[in-house]
Amino acid sequence: MLLEVKNLCVDFKVGKQTLRAVNDVSFSLGERDSLGLVGESGCGKSTTAFALMRLLAKNGRIAGGQVLLNGLDLASAPYDEIRKVRWKDIAIIFQNAMTALNPVQKIGNQLVNALQEHENVSRKEAIERAEYLFERVGIAKSRLMQYPHEFSGGMKQRAVIALALICKPKILIADEPTTALDVVAQRQVIELLAGLQDEFHISIIMISHDISAVAEACSHIAVMYGGEIMEMGNSKDVLIRNNHPYTHALVGSFPSLHKPLSALMQIPGGAPNLADMPVGCPFSPRCPYATDLCREKKPPMRQVRLGKLCKCHYAEELDFNRKEG
Amino acid sequence: MRKVKTFFRDPQSIIGLIILAVMLILAIFAPVICPGSPLFSVGAPLQAPGGDFLMGTDYLGRDVWAMLVWGSRVSIIFAFGASLLSLLVGIVLGALSGYIGGWLDDLMCRIFELFYIIPRTFLVILMVAFFGSSIGLMVIIVGLTIWPSNAKIMRAQVLTLKRRGYVQAADVAGGGRLSILFRHIVPNGMGPVLSNSVLQMAQAVLTEASLSFLGLGDPNQASWGLILNAGQRNISTAPWLVIYPGIALALLLLAFNLIGTALHKTLNVKQTVME
Amino acid sequence: MSDMVLDNLSKQYVLKAGFFKQLSGKAGVVSAVDQVSFQMEEGEIVGLVGESGCGKTTLGKMLLKIEDITSGKAYIDGTDIAAVRGRKNILEFRKKVQMIFQDPYDSLDPKFTIREIVAEPLKSLKICQSAEEIHKRVEDTLRLVELTPVELYADRYPHQLSGGQRQRVAIARALVSNPEFIIADEPVSMLDVSLRAGVLNLLQKLNRERGIGVLLITHDLATARFLCNRIVVMYLGRFVEITDPSSLVEDAVHPYTQLLISSAPDLFADTSNRIKVEGEAASAVAPPQGCRFYPRCPYTRDICTREVPQLTEIKPRHFVACHKTSPDFIKAEAAR
């Protein structure tokens, strides 16, 4: 395994309270794997990703667990070690491409500087590599020495991807890479990520609230809710043959272009409040199938079938698809 | 409400508020604490502190403590009067300038700048020379010279806030332009203006003290500047004449600065947001 | 109830020379909305779909009189909206046409309580005089948007509510004046997925029960398909296809609509033979001559670069603006 996350917990101090934003999250990522972390705002998906790179805000800290990258525990490693790993081994693309690019520096120079920071290469070599990456992400290399404002939103996002890949990282974390983009540009980015994976042998962790985008970009999906992974497995297996009521509701609340028109599923209640989490299953207050057992006892993560993990007491019994027939 | 809490928990604002509260008590209860006019001679001139008089007497035999207590009135009136006036003028002119925009905005900005570059003390001296030095007039003059910074801040606030969704929503809901400006935009932009105007209170107090020190203050009012003015001729033999009012002035300025910066912190700093 | 007619409606912005001049090579005019015509019937929900910068929001703002109309006419209920002038007439107009904004975190004044926010149109539009009447009407409307129990929410401030609840407040504010027509600009795009369905279902319910006409501005075809009676696809300021949602996926004719359908990520779609994406989205600053989509279109012919294709009805209730549907074009293609 390239990356192994074991029982990761992240706490945030807000005032006098300590809130657990990520609770006991475990997953592993092999070479050329792609994992999508999906969930709604506040579910802990971005926090998980930031914790992997030790990019948590000042009031946050890793409260437990391990993040093993080739045997090095990123959760406890000294900061100097982390700095070496960042960008060289793990690179990240932020949600907002506009903030990742320096507006007063030519994009090409930003790529070259990032590479020269980590590797001992001449400027000429660095430019060659930047040009190659530009063409690879679908931007003419003649535009390398332009400023960010001369690019459209989709192009900026692709330039940021090129910037993330300049040091040939092994893992690429993409935080909502498609959210700010139009449909067509979104698709280009998704296709690009999939293509790059084959060419550069990178593993991808993609964070998004858009399950259909993640389903296209990633082979595996982990659905998060209230800081925990609720269901994890092969993308289609999670999203179409779901075992968790939350996954089911999430999929059902998305209007689709291809499904026959039917009423959209509505999840009652609001997002979970981290300061006041239920004792039992975090989804139990909103779950239509919840019983006393769910409200009192946290369900363990268990395998419901080969390659499919689910955190629900009734994972096998609830067969939504049959019921709706 | 969380902001109110953080403000009152901040040690800076607590210290500032305590000092200010003491000054306010002195100002309000001056007739009780030191009955009679502080400007009458009550004892031998230039007595050292500690004897009959807590803070000694000046060259005319006036009680320094009584003058200090009564003088706090003048300082407080100046602080609140001038900054309130500056707040009103600054908010209205700044808000209109930012909201209406166009040539009017250009014109107003030049006027703000004009007021910036006029040497304030000089202007006040000029006005006092023309109209005499009554305390009310001086409050108005000081208030009318320090408003441009409030106006500039409010204008900047309006420029960003007028693009907000709720402003457009108020338009679609049928609100008139002035009502949108003063009900939706100005209240949401008050934070930085308020903290600035607390800092301006310090400015106003200092201006009054300097004027009185120069002998341009209201001669019928005991003020800290007046004590300093009276004390300067005996500074080597009776240093308490300048030390006590100096300390009072420094404390009040400190209080305003502490409250102002604390206010600035609580009102303007964005809360850190998780995720 | 009212209908809405757009007749060659256009909006142009004149750019300041300088900064953009360097970018595009010439200073000029942005044609944000270019001669669009459309008729919306009573009580219809129409989806206006397009990518960012296509002019859909500008069009919505013109219909609300937030933006001026450059040329052409827009009629709501038979009244030319450009002719609505004077405070009294504008208030009358605002009673009829209301708007739901995109971002519920931005569109509610943080210093007002929910009750005050919803009461504002009643006061500003002078609909209710007495305090009791306002009180009752506000609470009725909050109940209508399912913010119940009303007592629990009415006196809270926006920051105490979730995104979905905030958007319900925004809907309540738009509804309280009893409008005949609502323009909803991306009403769910800022909301969490699980809360979107609730807001969309609510809009549908209001339309069905009260016959309020809704113009839904969105970038998401799937949302429009779910909610709307008709879908208008817009590209760089022009309407390129108007169709029924039921036949949208199967019968889309315009290459741009086809590209959108093919590109939308969808769990249930076959992604194996997608239409290839060509080129970058053109900008409204210097739009292409002829058909504005031709630089990205796989079917481009000479005529597309010269002539602007007109919206033509190729089937009942199905309009397309594409040269490849014209008889001449088909004949020419067959001859090749």
pLDDT, one tens digit per residue, over A61-114 is 999 999 999 888 999 888 888 888 888 889 988 877 667 888 889 999 999 998
Overall average pLDDT of the C124-137 stretch: 90
Per-residue pLDDT of chain B (275 residues; tens, 9 = 90+): 667 788 888 888 999 999 999 999 999 998 888 888 888 887 887 787 877 788 888 878 888 888 999 999 999 999 999 999 999 999 999 999 999 988 999 999 999 998 888 887 788 788 888 887 788 888 988 888 889 999 999 999 999 999 899 999 999 998 889 999 999 999 999 989 999 999 999 989 998 888 888 888 888 888 898 888 888 888 888 888 889 999 999 999 999 999 998 888 887 644 333 32
Q: Tell whether A47 lies on the interface with C, counting CB pairs under 8 A.
A: no
Looking at residue A100, its pLDDT comes to 81
Q: Which residue range is the domain that position B75 belongs to?
A: 12-43+50-266
Residues in B touching C124 (Cβ below 8 Å): 170, 173-176, 179
Lowest mean pLDDT among A2-6, B248-252, C169-173, C270-274: C270-274
Asked whether residue B4 is assigned to any structural domain, the reply reads: no
**Looking at chain B from residue 254 to 273, which residues have their Cβ under 8 Å from any Cβ of chain A?**
272
DSSP state of B27: H
Answer yes or no: do A184 and C222 touch at CB < 8 A: no
Q: Contact at 8 Å (CB) between A274 and A227?
A: yes
What is the distance in angstroms between the Cα of A243 and the nearest Cα belonging to chain C?
17
Q: Whose CA is closest to B182, among C108, C114, C89, C111?
A: C111
pLDDT digits (tens, 9 = 90+) for A174-216: 998 888 788 888 888 888 888 888 888 899 999 998 888 899 8
8 Å CB contact between A69 and A91: no
* Structural domains in chain B (count): 1
What percent of chain C lies above the pLDDT cut of 70?
A: 95
Other Cβ atoms closer than 10 A to A46: 25
Instruction: Write out chain A residues lying below 8 Å of C274, CB-based.
Output: 187
**CA C284 – CA B58 distance, rounded (Å):** 79
The answer as to whether B101 is a domain residue is: yes
Residue B274, pLDDT score: 30
**Of residues A235 and B5, more confidently modeled:** A235
Taking contacts as CB-CB distances below 8 angstroms, the residues of chain C near B187 are: 111
Q: Would you tell me how many other CB atoms lie within 10 Å of the CB of residue A55?
A: 16
Chains near C (3 or more Cβ pairs under 8 Å)? A, B
Nearest residue in chain B measured CA to CA from C178 = B173
- Is the separation of the CB atoms in B83 and B197 below 8 Å? yes
Token digits for B122? 């000089």
> Nearest CA to B250 among B19, B12, B14, B24?
B19
Integer CA distances (angstroms), A116 to A102, A120, A126, C24, in order: 17, 6, 7, 34
CATH number, residue B100: 1.10.3720.10
- Identify the closest residue of chain C to B166 by CA–CA distance: C107
Residue B167, in any domain of the structure = yes
In contact, C264 and C221? CB cutoff 8 Å: yes
CA distance A75 to chain C (A): 30
Band (pLDDT 50/70/90 cuts) for residue A229 is very high
Q: Does A185 touch chain C (CB under 8 A)?
A: yes
Strand order in the sheet with C71-76: C29-40, C4-14, C71-76, C79-80
Contact A237, A310 (CB under 8 A): no
Nearest chain B residue (CA) to A51: B275
User: Is B17 contained in some domain?
Assistant: yes
pLDDT at C19 over 80: no
Across the interface, of B173, B187, B188, the residue whose CB is closest to C120 is B173
* pTM exceeding the 0.90 threshold for the entire prediction: no
Res C42: pLDDT: 86
Subunit contact A42:B272, Cβ cutoff 8 A: no
According to DSSP, the residues that pair with A53 across neighbouring strands are none
Ordered by where they begin, the domains of chain A are 3-89+169-324 (3.40.50.300), 100-168 (no CATH)
CB atoms under 10 Å from CB of B129, counted, come to 10
Which residue type, as a one-letter code, is found at position B36?
G
Chain B residues with CB-CB distance to A57 below 8 A: 272, 274
Q: Which residue of A has its CA nearest to C200?
A: A264
**Residue B37 belongs to some domain of the structure:** yes
Instruction: Please tell me which of the candidates B171, B174, B187 has its beta carbon nearest to residue C111.
Output: B187
Given this model, what pLDDT does residue A324 score? 45
Which H or E run includes B248? Answer: helix B240-268
Lowest pLDDT segment from A243-247, C10-14, C241-245: C10-14
In a domain, B215, yes or no: yes
pLDDT band at A319 (very low <50, low <70, confident <90, very high): low
CA max distance for chain B = 74
Q: What is each CA distance from C227 to A210, C166, C190, C247, C317, in whole angstroms? A: 19, 21, 17, 14, 17
Tokens 């609730």 belong to C198
Q: Which of A152, A187, A250 sits opposite C265 (nearest CB)?
A: A187
**Residue C33 backbone zone (phi > 0: left; psi -120 to 50: alpha; other: beta):** beta
For A139-190, give the DSSP string: --GGGTTS-GGGS-HHHHHHHHHHHHHTT--SEEEEESTTTTS-HHHHHHHH
Mutation site, A242, A254, A259, interface C, largest C CB count within 10 A:
A254
pLDDT tens digits, A115-135:
988 888 899 999 999 999 998
Nearest to B173 among C66, C102, C173 (CB): C173
Q: Which residues pair with A265 in a beta bridge?
A: none
In a domain, B243, yes or no: yes
Q: What is the mean pLDDT of residues C198-221?
A: 90
CB-defined contacts A:C, below 8 A: 117
Q: Does position C169 have pLDDT exceeding 90, yes or no? A: yes
B5 domain-assigned: no
In angstroms, the Cα distances linking A262 to A184, A208, C226 are: 26, 25, 8
* Beta-strand pair A308-310/C45-49: unpaired
The confidence band for C23, taking pLDDT boundaries of 50, 70 and 90, is: low
Between the ranges A261-270, C100-109, C266-275, where is the mean pLDDT highest?
Answer: C100-109
**How would you list the strands of the sheet with C97-100, edge to edge?**
C97-100, C181-185, C213-218, C45-49, C230-235, C238-243, C318-320, C312-315
Of A47, A58, A59, the CB nearest to B275: A47
SS3 state of residue C33: strand
Does C120 contact chain B (CB < 8 Å)? yes
**ipTM above threshold 0.90:** no
Mean pLDDT of chain C: 87
Q: In what order do the strands lie in the sheet with A203-208?
A: A90-93, A171-175, A203-208, A34-38, A220-225, A228-234, A308-310, A302-305
